[in-house]
Amino acid sequence: MKTKYFSQGFTLIEMAMVIFILGLMMTSFLEPLATRVEEEQRNKTQIQLDDIEEVLFGYVLRNNHLPCPDCSDALTEDCVTVNTNDPTDINDGEEDILADTCATETGNFPWATLGVKRTDQWDNNFTYHVDKTFADRTIATNDGTGCETGSSTLGVSFSLCSDGDIEIFSSDDAIDSGDPADVATGIPAIVISHGKNWASAASDDEVQNTDGDNEFVDKDYSQAAGAEYDDMLIWISPHILKTMSVKAGMLP
């Protein structure tokens, strides 16, 4: 007597359940992996920002002023003239100067001038904003406060009296309140990585770091809906800058 064998395949319901379970397993694996990847990218970008801060101080010691931004937009401030003179000067990593002053206060960090990597870990340029009075090629003059300037500054573009015009707040709401900056004030220069979501600038807090004015937001990382924030900032303390300049004999 012959034995009969019957083959039995998966039903559609069973296959759907298997696919569903596999999907859950993949999601539980990929989400932590994506988090770890972003954390590593942020750590490496922070190292880049720390290096940029150190490079900026070194640049001041050698040149007696901060660098100007590289024009990132041919329609911003005097970048129009830069573009007219030579369009290749836009987005070339070299600081842009016209008549001894910066062509723009906001642009790319001048990576070629400073000799650092062009982009952060998401392949985006760093944004750089500087108070022009700390980056021009003219000697600081007495501002009426009685602070020693002029010949005593040995060609330095700023003095002990100089204050930067950059203000840093804890949120967009803090800016809208009209109250004084609650994170830092009087800052001469700031450098920003706009993080993983640079293209979208997903929240009002992040928009403050892309609108080209002198008000910025620095707060903790957040992925809360409507309050996303993954920007990373470093700024030059005016007090450290002036103390360093005094020790180097640049300021009296």
Q: Whole-number mean pLDDT of the chain? A: 86
Q: How confident is the model at residue 77 (pLDDT cuts 50, 70, 90)?
A: confident
Strands 127-130 and 184-187: unpaired
Query: pTM surpassing 0.85?
Result: no
- Whether residue 2 lies inside any domain: the answer is no
Summarised one tens digit per residue, pLDDT across range 153-196 is 567 888 888 899 999 999 999 999 988 899 999 999 999 999 99
pLDDT band at 144 (very low <50, low <70, confident <90, very high): very low
Asked whether residue 213 is domain-assigned, the answer is: yes
In a domain, 7, yes or no: no
* Domain membership of residue 84 as a residue range: 12-247
In a domain, 82, yes or no: yes
Structural domain includes residue 105: yes
Tens digit of each residue's pLDDT (9 = 90 or more) over 9-66: 567 777 777 787 777 666 665 566 667 888 999 999 999 999 999 999 999 999 999 9
In this predicted structure, the answer to whether residue 150 has a pLDDT above a threshold of 50 is no
* Domain-located, residue 3: no
Among the listed ranges 150-154, 182-186, 240-244, which one has the minimum average pLDDT value?
A: 150-154
Task: Report the pLDDT value the prediction gives residue 10, as an integer from 0 to 100.
Answer: 62
Does 6 reside within a domain? Answer: no
Q: At residue 232, does pLDDT exceed 80? A: yes
| 122-131, 133-142, 165-174, 234-243, range with the lowest pLDDT | 133-142
Q: What is the pLDDT of residue 151?
A: 43
Is residue 143 a part of any domain in this protein?
Answer: yes
Check residue 235 and give its pLDDT.
Answer: 98
Q: Is there a contact between 232 and 42 (Cβ–Cβ < 8 Å)? A: yes
State the total domains in the chain.
1
